């Protein structure tokens, strides 16, 4: 998730070659693939969204089984808004029709010649078997939420870095499986309602508690260990502590110095590392708002002493709120944590979903796509924080 929580432009990368002249990517046209193109970016430019299968499904015969590979010079049909094909495509299909028409006419003549045959004879005739078309894989629907920059957010490029990582992993592992991501902003409902109801295959991104220290965990993290399975780690974050500039908590060297303080940790974030550090409901006062920004508003107003939050998310939020100079990260108490996708243990596709995501993640790591997506997102964050 959060719980902290294309493709190289979706990566679907066109095979590189010499540059070609620019061509508009518009719906209801036939588009010639250019150097550097990929299906997701073509879809975004033509339709304003990234669901590239609207193009892939109309061009399977041209692209082939793997939507990751499109070649320069390919003529791709970009369907019209109503789903119909553009006139140029229709004309091209008509040009290929004569041979089929001859076959159909021949079949019609044969059928007419045999029409007088008795019904019994017709019943005895065994038609040639037509090879069954391969079954379309069942779509996989995952859930995430907003207010978690730079990892997830409908207003972020690619809907967030983690969303891009998940979608790319799924595409690499199973290009024929349609993956869709739904945003539901109530993060707790993912764990408590939606995933237990089997409404979605999984959710992301979430911190993984150390289930080996089960006795030290909060009730919420025990619930996670009992009911959920986790993917391989997609990304590591530093879970840190923030305090007002000049506050003694901004320079604390030991968790014991935070005992008795008022700590803000947004709702839905794992309490695991706080629990193991002895920062529990018995030793500190917690404030658990829904929105991340509420923590820093409370800190700036003196309503809380410390904000416990992923440092990347915190830096982005502080820059957006204009509080970067007033609030400081404690450099001594941060811990590295990993972010994962999760599936409910009882979901019939739990293992399938984890296998798909883990396999795709391995491919991305080897190919360099993981690094490309992450570095691009982090560079964007740096520009945001320094401008």
CATH of the domain at 36: 3.10.350
Q: What is the mean pLDDT of residues 54-80?
A: 81
- DSSP assignment of 42-100 equals HHHHHHSS--THHHHTTSHHHH-S-TT-EETT-EEEE--TTSPPPHHHHHHHHHTHHHH
Query: Both tokens of residue 96?
Result: 């290929």
Q: Which of 126-130, 247-251, 366-370 has the highest mean pLDDT?
A: 247-251
For the question of whether the overall pTM of this predicted structure is more than 0.75, the answer is: no
Which of the two residues, 108 and 26, has the higher pLDDT score?
A: 26
Task: Examine the domain organization and report whether 242 and 188 are in the same domain.
Answer: no
Asked if residue 114 belongs to a domain, the reply is no
Q: What is the mean pLDDT of residues 317-334?
A: 89
Q: Any idea how long the chain is? A: 387
Domain end among 64, 91, 118: 91
Asked if residue 28 belongs to a domain, the reply is yes
Query: Both tokens of residue 34?
Result: 């250019």
Task: Examine the domain organization and report whether 18 and 62 are in the same domain.
Answer: yes
Name the residue among 257, 340, 344, 242 with its Cα closest to residue 293: 242
- 105-114 residues labelled b (16+ CB within 10 A) or e (exposed): eeeeeeeeee
Q: What is the mean pLDDT of residues 19-48?
A: 76
Asked if residue 19 belongs to a domain, the reply is yes
Task: Examine the domain organization and report whether 189 and 248 are in the same domain.
Answer: no
- What per-residue confidence (pLDDT) applies to 18? 31
Give the position of tokens 């495509």: 89
- Rounded mean pLDDT of the chain? 80
pLDDT at 66 over 60: yes
Task: Examine the domain organization and report whether 42 and 163 are in the same domain.
Answer: no
Asked if residue 30 belongs to a domain, the reply is yes
Q: What is the C-alpha to C-alpha distance for residues 3 and 267, in angstroms, rounded to an integer?
A: 9
Lowest mean per-residue pLDDT among 134-148, 189-203, 212-226: 134-148
Q: What is the C-alpha to C-alpha distance for residues 53 and 83, in angstroms, rounded to an integer?
A: 12
pLDDT at 93 over 50: no
Task: Examine the domain organization and report whether 370 and 316 are in the same domain.
Answer: no
Task: Examine the domain organization and report whether 343 and 229 are in the same domain.
Answer: yes
Q: What is the mean pLDDT of residues 112-119?
A: 37
Q: Which of 87-91, 196-200, 367-371 has the highest mean pLDDT?
A: 196-200
- What per-residue confidence (pLDDT) applies to 3? 44
- What per-residue confidence (pLDDT) applies to 247? 96
| Pairing state between β 75-78 and 29-32 | antiparallel
Q: Which of 121-135, 169-183, 191-205, 309-323 has the highest mean pLDDT?
A: 191-205
Name the residue among 209, 138, 130, 143 with its Cα closest to residue 176: 138
Asked if residue 105 belongs to a domain, the reply is no
Asked if residue 213 belongs to a domain, the reply is yes
Q: Are 142 and 200 in contact (CB under 8 A)?
A: yes
Identify the CATH number of the domain in which residue 298 sits.
Answer: 3.40.190.10
Task: Examine the domain organization and report whether 283 and 215 are in the same domain.
Answer: no
Alpha-carbon distance values, 128 to 125, 131, 135, 339 (Å): 9, 10, 20, 54
pLDDT at 140 over 50: yes
Task: Examine the domain organization and report whether 322 and 343 are in the same domain.
Answer: no
pLDDT at 44 over 90: no
- Phi and psi at 92, nearest 5°, equal -65, -40
Asked if residue 272 belongs to a domain, the reply is yes
Which of the two residues, 66 and 54, has the higher pLDDT score?
A: 54
Task: Examine the domain organization and report whether 219 and 229 are in the same domain.
Answer: yes
- Using DSSP, state whether 31 is helix, strand or coil: strand
Q: What is the pLDDT of residues 260-287, one digit of tens each?
A: 999 999 887 888 889 888 999 999 999 9
Task: Examine the domain organization and report whether 283 and 225 are in the same domain.
Answer: no
Q: What is the C-alpha to C-alpha distance for residues 216 and 275, in angstroms, rounded to an integer?
A: 6
pLDDT at 224 over 90: yes
Domain end among 337, 359, 378: 337
pLDDT at 381 over 60: yes
Asked if residue 99 belongs to a domain, the reply is no
Task: Examine the domain organization and report whether 227 and 352 are in the same domain.
Answer: yes
Domain end among 91, 124, 148: 91
Q: What is the C-alpha to C-alpha distance for residues 345 and 195, in angstroms, rounded to an integer?
A: 10
Number of domains, the chain? 3
Task: Examine the domain organization and report whether 18 and 156 are in the same domain.
Answer: no
Q: Are 171 and 303 in contact (CB under 8 A)?
A: no
- Using DSSP, state whether 131 is helix, strand or coil: coil
What residues make up the domain containing 182?
140-234+339-386
Q: Is 158 left (phi over 0), alpha (psi -120 to 50) or beta?
A: left
What kind and span of H or E run contains 238? strand 235-244
């Amino acid at each position: 998730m959060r719980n902290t929580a294309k493709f190289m432009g979706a990566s679907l990368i066109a095979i590189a070659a010499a540059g070609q002249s620019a061509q508009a990517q518009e719906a209801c046209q036939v588009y010639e693939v250019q150097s550097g193109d990929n299906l997701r970016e073509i879809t975004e430019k033509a339709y304003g969204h990234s669901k590239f299968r609207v193009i892939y499904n109309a061009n399977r015969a041209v692209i082939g089984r793997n939507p990751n590979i499109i070649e320069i010079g390919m003529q791709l049909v970009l369907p019209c808004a109503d789903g119909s094909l553009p006139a140029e495509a229709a004309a091209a299909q008509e040009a290929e029709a004569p041979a089929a028409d001859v076959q159909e006419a021949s079949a019609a003549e044969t059928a007419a010649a045999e029409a007088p045959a008795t019904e019994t004879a017709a019943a005895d005739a065994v038609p040639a078997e037509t090879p069954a078309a391969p079954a379309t894989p069942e779509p996989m629907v995952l859930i995430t939420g907003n207010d978690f920059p730079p990892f997830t957010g409908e207003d972020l490029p690619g809907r967030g870095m983690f969303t891009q990582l998940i979608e790319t992993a799924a595409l690499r592992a199973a290009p024929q499986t349609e993956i869709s991501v739904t945003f539901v902003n109530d993060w707790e409902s993912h764990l408590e309602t939606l995933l237990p109801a089997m409404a979605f295959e999984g959710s992301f991104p979430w911190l993984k508690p150390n289930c080996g220290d089960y006795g030290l965990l909060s009730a919420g993290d025990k619930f996670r260990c009992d009911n959920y399975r986790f993917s391989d780690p997609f990304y590591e974050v530093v879970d840190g502590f923030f305090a007002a500039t000049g506050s003694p908590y901004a320079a604390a060297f030991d968790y014991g110095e935070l005992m008795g303080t008022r700590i803000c940790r947004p709702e839905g974030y794992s309490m695991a590392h706080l629990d193991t550090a002895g920062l529990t409901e018995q030793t500190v006062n917690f404030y658990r708002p829904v929105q991340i920004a509420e923590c820093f508003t409370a800190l700036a107003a003196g309503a809380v002493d410390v904000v416990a939050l992923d440092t990347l998310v915190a830096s982005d939020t502080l820059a957006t709120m204009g509080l970067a100079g007033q609030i400081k990260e404690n450099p001594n108490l941060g811990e590295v944590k990993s972010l994962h996708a999760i599936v409910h243990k009882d979901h019939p596709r739990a293992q399938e979903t984890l296998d798909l995501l883990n396999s795709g993640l391995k491919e991305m790591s080897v190919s360099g796509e993981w690094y490309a997506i992450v570095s691009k997102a982090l560079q964007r964050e740096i520009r945001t924080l320094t401008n």
